[in-house]
């Protein structure tokens, strides 16, 4: 069994900041844990907007703290995010993620992230076999 705490992840290589500092992701479970998904706690900082397109991944996101909204950019639909709200990007939906206050989110990715991924220009993460190429 694997047991980890957010405290031990803070300041370690499992804590990853967005290049634009819009978010920090603390990666509790990663690909090399062999679970088939990765599992993160992410804080999206208040006052930010992030363009995301996980064309290579599925992601489910559950809000436990804070406030914001997600806009699916193909159809312009806006969904408020509050504690207790989950959204799942089952269609690799392009979206804008906005936080009005710091939002604490629990996220699962399939396929699993390897560890140090940050968003590329198009808002995606690479697949594991594209990394370090």
Minimum distance of ligand 9YT from residue 61's CB (angstroms): 5
**Among residues 25 and 85, whose Cβ is nearest to ligand 9YT?**
25
- What gap in Å lies between CA 79 and CA 72, rounded to an integer? 8
- E-strand spans in 1-133? 15-17, 23-29, 38-44, 49-52, 58-72, 77-81, 86-88, 95-110
Identify the CA nearest to 128 among candidates 22, 19, 31: 31
The reply to whether 25 sits near ligand 9YT by the rule CB under 6 A is: yes
What residues between 43 and 102 interact with ligand 9YT by CB under 6 A?
Answer: 52, 59, 61, 97
**Among residues 8 and 49, whose Cβ is nearest to ligand 9YT?**
49
Contact residues for ligand 9YT (CB under 6 A)?
Answer: 23, 25, 40, 42, 52, 59, 61, 97, 105, 107
């Amino acid at each position: 069994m694997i047991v980890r705490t957010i405290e031990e992840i803070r300041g370690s290589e499992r804590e990853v900041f967005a290049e634009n500092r819009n978010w920090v992701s603390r990666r509790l479970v990663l690909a090399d844990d062999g679970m088939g998904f990765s599992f993160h706690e992410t804080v999206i900082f208040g006052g930010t907007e992030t363009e995301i397109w996980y064309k290579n991944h599925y992601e489910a996101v559950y809000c436990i703290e804070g406030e914001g909204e997600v806009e699916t950019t193909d159809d312009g639909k806006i969904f408020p995010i509050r504690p207790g709200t989950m959204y799942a990007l089952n269609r690799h939906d392009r979206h804008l993620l906005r936080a009005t206050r710091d939002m604490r989110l629990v996220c699962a990715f399939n396929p699993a992230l390897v560890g140090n991924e940050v968003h590329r220009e198009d808002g995606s993460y690479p697949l594991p076999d594209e990394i370090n190429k």
